[in-house]
Chains A and B, each alone.
Chain A
Amino acid sequence: MRNGEGHMGLSARSVNVSLGGRAVLHDIDLDARPGEVLALLGPNGAGKSTLLKALAGLLPYEGDIVLGDANSASLSPRARARRISYVPQRSLLRSALSVEEVVALGRYVHGGSFGGLSKNDQEAIDHALDTAHADVFRGRIFTQLSVGEQQRVLLARALASDAPILLLDEPTAALDVGEGMAVLRLIRSLAEREHTIIVVLHDLADARSTTDRALLLKEGAVVERGDTAKVVAPDPIRAVYGVRLIENARIGFEPDQDSSGEAPGA
């Protein structure tokens, strides 16, 4: 984070969400702290993405969501977006905006509703593109990028808002192993800069390698919470997924020490 609102955490108390008359989330409590990555885990349909959207203020909910010192419900959309930034799995953008123009959208929350970009805005855009390693394709058209490249641009767009809380919905879902690893390392480095990060992850091994704490959801309720190593453990995993967890069974990957640490094509 460059400047903006300063460090802040997110806490949710008794959050309930109903979609189309059906209760999807039941009494969720969670706390996310600056400098930490919190994982939302669970099988398909457990309500991970719904919870993330509710936390971002994109879905109606009951209960309390507090961002820093303010209740999310009392904030205007812009004030909320200055505190919390949501990165969707894929963007619905289909228009021919350039990468730089897409990242500039993140600056809308600052300055007036009307008028153009200030010098400060431009600096934030440059900084965000640089942090997300997206500066190399800043002049290209967003829709013509690969999914992995788009994911980094969306991250840069979120970073440009200077919001201290970041919510990411399956950021590695459609990426290859190199791209996925680059995004996960980026998430780690953002946490080191005191961002508060909540991330929905599908891959439990990724959760173990990248996140500090985790919330395991099943059918809209929390089954297990705590350190990721404690949550991604044989008993809870068997209870939720119906599979046995075997330590060190899968092949693993690590960044190539000889390369710059960037995914190829970055």
Chain B
Amino acid sequence: MRLYALLFFSLLIAGALGIVVGSGDLADPELRDTFLKLRGFRLTAAFLAGAALAVGGVVVQGLFRNPLASPSVLGTTAGASFGGQVALLLSGLTGVSSGLVSPEMLVPIGCFLGALGALAVLLLFLRITQDLLALLLTGFVLSALFLSMSAFVTSVAQETWELGRAVVSFSLGSVSGTGPRQLAFAIPLVVTALTACWLWGRPLDLLLSGEEEAQSMGANVTGVRWWSAIWVSVLVAGAVSIGGNVGFVGLVVPHMLRPFAGTQHQRLIPAAALGGGLFLVVCDVIARVIPARSEMPLGVVTGLIGAPLFLLLLVRLRRERAYA
């Protein structure tokens, strides 16, 4: 309870900063409303993406029984980003936006398919070998593959100036331009998947003991794996579609919270949702105040904070020779 109180309180402060801090001047009465609205969307997007990515991290760490797994390490984020770029490209080239499906809707669908594709490859791979290092390396290869395919999509998109810009800024990951329509699609996706992950918490606890023991305790192992993969894909798709193509959240946040919230999924998941949201809101505030020619992309900030934290974790894990 104290953990939740602390997370809530920090979130309030970070949220207030998220509204106040920025290049625009709130004292200008004509622009104040616009600024407040934009920052409100941005704040919501950062919180939502952070919550989704952190819980996605918790679930894949349980799913693959690997403390170093996360949507970005396993290539799920890259898959989602690639899927989103393809969706953007298709909607741009064919002008689908005028038809039944708007790009705001097409991008999350593309992200979901990309994320699920990446996770499906890993799950199928898991049937061949349970080796955890091999799993991480496969995730790395998948990530690299999706990045190179994304580069191809970007190069195709460059043929039209506006499309090229849209694809590049999407792949950089930024919540600054997130609008109400994107949020309207992402919020139900993320909230549904967060709830589902919490509901799947007990079977995920069973999976921590490995396939055989989980099965002996009554878990439908295959079912739990695939459903979890689907929920993680929805989470990552929701995050990436609103500019959350950022690394390290799913890795760093669960590890920081486990010593306080415990390892049981139903206790860790709500804490990770709050903690992940807080982490990205703070990163987004930092992105605005770091002096740069234009605003620093969010993914750069999470990387700068996340990478050293990740290395610290690695050292600690080696010392403890166990999950922390």
Contact = CB atoms under 8 A, between A and B. Distances in A.
Interface of A: 53, 56-58, 76-78, 80-82, 85-86, 88, 91-98, 101, 105-106, 108-109, 113-116, 143, 157, 161
Contacts of B208: 93-95, 97
Query: By CB atoms of chain A within 10 A, which of B62, B65, B217 has the most?
Result: B217
B288 interface: no
Nearest to B218: A81
Interface string B171-214: 00000000000000000000000000001101101101110110
B166 interface: no
B10 interface: no
Contacts of B258: 96
B220 A77 contact: yes
A58 B220 CA distance: 12
Given A57-B216, A81-B216, A97-B208, 19 more contacts: A57-B215, A78-B218, A88-B216, A91-B209, A91-B213, A92-B212, A93-B213, A94-B208, A95-B263, A95-B322, A97-B205, A98-B262, A105-B209, A105-B217, A108-B206, A108-B218, A114-B200, A115-B202, A116-B266
Contacts of B203: 108, 113
5 contacts: A53-B212, A92-B213, A93-B213, A98-B262, A106-B217
Contact of A161 (B205, B217, B262): B217
A93 B209 contact: yes
Contacts of A101: 205, 262-264
A94 B322 contact: yes
A58 B215 contact: yes
Interface residues of B, number: 27
A31 B62 CA distance: 38
A113 B219 CA distance: 9
Contact of B322 (A57, A116, A143): A143
A56 B216 contact: yes
B206 A105 contact: yes
A94 B130 CA distance: 15
Contacts of A97: 205, 208, 262-264
A76 B212 CA distance: 15
Nearest to A79: B218
Contacts of A109: 217-218
A108 B220 CA distance: 11
B263 A96 contact: yes
A8 to B, nearest CB: 17
Interface of B: 62, 65, 199-200, 202-203, 205-206, 208-210, 212-213, 215-220, 258, 262-264, 266, 322-324
Contacts of A78: 218, 220
B224 to A, nearest CB: 9
B137 to A, nearest CB: 20
Question: 9 closest pairs, A vs B, by CB?
Answer: A81-B218, A92-B210, A78-B218, A86-B216, A109-B218, A114-B199, A93-B209, A95-B323, A95-B208
B322 to A, nearest CB: 5
Nearest to A141: B322
Contacts of B323: 94-96
B262 A80 contact: no
Contacts of A157: 217
A115 B201 CA distance: 8
Nearest to B130: A92
Nearest to B222: A77
Contacts of B266: 116
A166 B221 CA distance: 21
Nearest to A111: B202
A96 B322 contact: yes
A77 B263 contact: no
A57 to B, nearest CB: 8
A115 B198 CA distance: 8
Nearest to B198: A114
B199 to A, nearest CB: 4
A109 to B, nearest CB: 4
A105 B205 contact: yes
A211 to B, nearest CB: 22
Contact of A77 (B200, B209, B215, B264): B215
Contacts of B219: 77, 108
A178 B167 CA distance: 67
A82 B218 contact: yes
A108 B264 contact: no
A113 B216 contact: no
A94 B202 contact: no
A115 to B, nearest CB: 8
A238 to B, nearest CB: 35
Contacts of B264: 97, 101
Contact of B209 (A76, A92, A96, A114): A92
Contacts of B215: 57-58, 77
Contacts of B262: 96-98, 101
Contacts of B213: 86, 88, 91-93
Contact of B218 (A80, A88, A93): A80
Query: By CB atoms of chain A within 10 A, which of B199, B200, B216, B258 has the most?
Result: B216
Given A81-B217, A101-B264, A114-B199, A94 B212 contact: no
